[in-house]
Amino acid sequence: MTQPAAHPSAPAHPGAAGRPHHGPESAANVTTSIEPTTGWHVSHIFYAFDRGRLAGLSHAARVEGCQQFRAALDPTGSHAPTRLQSWLVPGHKADFGIMVMDPSPLAVDAVHQRLLAGPLGPALTPTYSFVSLTEVSEYVPTVEQYGQRLIVEGEVADSPSYRAKVQGYAAREDSMRKARLEPELPPWPNACFYPMNKKRKVGENWFTLPFSERSRLMAEHGRTGMSFGGRVTQLITVSVGLDDWEWGVTLWARRPEFLKEIVYTMRFDEASARYAEFGPFYTGFVATPEQILDHCRVAIM
């Protein structure tokens, strides 16, 4: 399960100038694919039911539409992508939302297309979408970088405490990276999604800071997030070059007040208070397709 961590920047480890370094691989050796080399495609899509069009559907179309709706959002169905979760969304922004993950972008988008192609499709209005990829942030340290960070923070090199912490980190490193690239969805009922950017303003340009300073700020941010371990789980996905915002943040919590507490607390970190910009928030409650249909008064018995 992914633990709360700092918001990322670009994938890959930084080069000398603090920019991501992707190695000397030539274009001739790069395979052609719509699937990423590592990680998964991710889409968050939110919908509202058009009550007027729902009322215009025949009884038979509505019954069949509810059946196809349940099938389209069944995470265990024969056509299901690798990860699929649906939320009830309070307020006027949407009635429900889905979060879909798979190595194939076509498998991800197929869920959206099945919803629109079904009998309820004419009564569904997509209200917001966000397209991204899972990634391992450049600020997630290697074992060597983690050891150097401990020394900077006051640990004595090669002391028993230092060795225990480094060995513990090394034992967790592979699982931590896998949790970011191929995440499991936590069994918690409260969820929240929002997009974000790092500022590019005069005097507050994140991308002109040296990597060492960005790394320091993100380490502080990460420590704040980790203090919510066991209460909140966080997944950051990257949308640089893919959508209007640069990253998407998905939070799951054991209780709804924990969502408020983690966002409020992390706003005081300099990386957030000085350099972050936030888009619309979509809060939801994890729900089955049947619960969505019942709650939104769509199902016909």
Could you give the residue numbers annotated as active site?
194
Residue among 226, 229, 249 at smallest CA distance from 237 = 249
- Looking up tokens 């199902």, which residue turns up? 299
DSSP string for residues in 183-203: PPPPS-SEEEEEEEEE-EETT
- Looking up tokens 């966002």, which residue turns up? 263
DSSP string for residues in the chain: -PPP-----SBS-B-TTSSB---S--GGGPPP-SS-SSS-EEEEEEEEE-HHHHHHS-HHHHHHHHHHHHHHT-TTSTT--SEEEEEE--SSS-SEEEEEEES-HHHHHHHHHHHHHSTTGGGEEEEEEEEEEE--BTTS--HHHHHHHHHHTTPPTT-HHHHHHHHHHHHHHHHHHHHHHSPPPPS-SEEEEEEEEE-EETTEEGGGS-HHHHHHHHHHHHHHHHTTTTTEEEEEEE-TTTSSSSEEEEEEESSHHHHHHHHHHHTTSHHHHTTEEE---EEEEE--HHHHHHHTT----
214, 18 contact by CB (below 8 A): yes
Q: What is the CA radius of gyration of the chain?
A: 21
